[in-house]
Amino acid sequence: MAKYILKRLALMVLLVIGMSFLVFASLYFAQGDPAEIAAGPSASVEEVEAMRHFLGLDQPFFVQYGNYLWNMLHGDLGTSLLSRQPIVNELAVRIPNTINLAVAAMLLACIVGIPLGMIAALKKDSILDNALTTISLAGISVPNFWFGTMLILLFCVRLHIFPTGGMTSFFWTAKGFREAVLPATALGLQVAAGFMRIGRSSMLDVLQSDYIRTARSKGLKERVVVVVHALRNGLIPIVTQMGTSFGGLLGGAIVTEQVFAINGIGTYLINAINQRNYTAVQGSVLLIATMFIVVNLIVDILYCVIDPRISYD
């Protein structure tokens, strides 16, 4: 296991470097001049050229990327073209808000999606199973920005139960819970629906296995058979989905943060794109990609915890 983790860490570094090259190259060849943005709209030609030289934009492409990569490996993602503040500092303020939202949405998806998927599998072909399957299809199809807007109109504008936006506290606090309920529900709806479908399919396969029939033939209670013997193996596909879903939550948070006015990485990225703040866009995309890679590494390690038969040695 230790060797596998070391290999994955080395691969993770290579993936981050490759991602940094793609992001840097795509923005390098994009329209617009970062020097003009950094110098300001009223800057003269001489001032723009001086800013271009100061930022190193007058150097060849690979020299610029080499400098960016060297700084990135030392924890420096550059300086914002507009605020002139280190991007690392600006992202550090917003990371907790995005992770807070993503974790709250993931917990909600697990609490709702996994049990409902199990119930649908245990009640196969019943009215309840058909209803849950229909709900899961609807949940996958509904865009989170539309669902979030409807939640705001109902629970904020009409009923005045929850705040319309903002997230300044962690979701496990009283204030943070009220702030996180609506955005976490809007963001986690599709994930919960996906867990329902995957959980149902996985549990149906497990419940038809030989060892489940053996456990039932021994006279074990159905609750023991389901919870002790079936659930653990049925969770493996869901854990796989958790890794990709959490990465999707980080990406989906870009839209959800805009709808609920949350000062997270997604809002920062959208503002950077609108303002053509290229260095901020690079840092934001690279951070999101790195978090996605780390989550998938954690998921692979969790396989061995859930099922000891899985080994990477």
Q: Which residues lie closer than 8 Å to 188 by C-beta, 6 or more apart?
A: 104, 105, 106, 108, 109, 112, 249
Confidence category of residue 313, pLDDT binned at 50, 70, 90 = low
Burial string for 129-141 (b: 16+ CB within 10 Å, else e) reads beebeeebeebee
What local confidence, expressed as pLDDT, does residue 312 receive? 55
The DSSP secondary structure of 208-269, one letter per residue, reads: TSHHHHHHHHTT--HHHIIIIIIHHHHHHHHHHHHHHHHHHHHHHHHHHHHHTT--SHHHHH
pLDDT band at 252 (very low <50, low <70, confident <90, very high): low
Distance CA 80, CA 65 (A): 17
Which comes out higher in pLDDT, residue 305 or 222? Answer: 222
**Measuring CA to CA, which residue among 152, 145, 147 is closest to residue 166?**
152
pLDDT digits over 12-26, tens only? Answer: 888 888 888 888 888
pLDDT at 41: 72
Domains by residue range for the chain, with CATH: 2-87 (no CATH), 93-307 (1.10.3720.10)
Q: What is the pTM assigned to this prediction?
A: 0.81
Query: Is residue 3 a contact partner of residue 313, using CB atoms and an 8 Å limit?
Result: yes
Q: How many CB atoms lie within 10 A of CB 289?
A: 20
The per-residue pLDDT for range 97-132, each reduced to its tens digit, is 888 988 999 999 989 988 888 888 888 888 888 888
